[in-house]
Each structure stands twice: as structure tokens, then as C-alpha cells.
Amino acid sequence: QEQLVESGGGVVQPGRSLRLSCAASGFAFSAYGMHWVRQAPGKGLEWVAAISNDGNNKYYADSVKGRFTISRDNSKNTLYLQMNSLRAEDTTVYYCAKDCYYDSSGYFDCWGQGTLVTVSS
């Protein structure tokens, strides 16, 4: 059974950094692209970033470009999101999601349960 489990969320001050992790199991992690998607409390879904199966291709939303970095360690079946220069508007639940294709060109067929990041002084 495919499973994604996020961790690393918490309360952080504006301007500080945080790294989220997403542990994958039940599928060949190294064969699929991966994404981060976020959702502010009571709001809709916002795509954040994507990475190809081999880590060579990365894509970002304009709202996080230059501040967030997506990466993966296929030996550990883990996806990461390094978030720097955090702002109040980054306060959301962050989901990792599995792409149906290796190059992140498809739909999201498996989602984690999410981890909450709160940016507050």
C-alpha cells in the first residue's frame, strides 16, 4: 500500500528556516516524480514545487521561488522541502504528493496526511 508521511512542521518565527520531510513507502520511490502542495486553513490547494524522479528537474511556484528548495534522497525514500525566509503567508498545511509519472508531468495519485507550518513571532 502506497503511503506518504510528512514531518517537520511546527511554529517558526518570520525570516527563519524549516525543513519538511516526506517518507515514502509501498512503492518504488525512485521511479516517480514528487510534489509539495499547501493549503492555508479553510482555503484551497496551492501547488508549491515538484521534482523529477532523479532529482535533476525541479519546478517552483512563483510565491516560493528563491526561498524554498525541493530535494529528494532516493536511498532513503524521502522527499524534502527546505523553506527559508519564511513569511506569515507561508502558514499552511503542507502535503507531499506522488506523481503518476517519473518526470512529474502527471496527476497526483497519492497524498500524505499533511504537516502544519505556522509562521509567527
Part of the chain binding other proteins (CB under 8 A), chosen from 19-27, 68-76, 80-88, 104-112:
104-112
Q: How far is the CB of 75 from other proteins (least distance, A)?
A: 26
Nearest-angstrom CA–CA distance, 40 and 55: 27
State the DSSP code for 34. Answer: E
Q: Which residue from 10, 14, 26, 106 is in contact with other proteins, where contact means CB under 8 A?
A: 106
Q: Note whether 50 binds other proteins by CB under 8 A.
A: yes
The answer to whether the CB of 115 falls within 8 A of the CB of 11 is: no
For other proteins, the closer of residues 31 and 100 by Cβ is 100
The answer to whether the CB of 74 falls within 8 A of the CB of 30 is: yes
Q: Note whether 32 binds other proteins by CB under 8 A.
A: no
What's the grid cell of residue 77? 525514500
For other proteins, the closer of residues 74 and 101 by Cβ is 101
Other C-beta atoms within 10 Å of 31: how many?
11
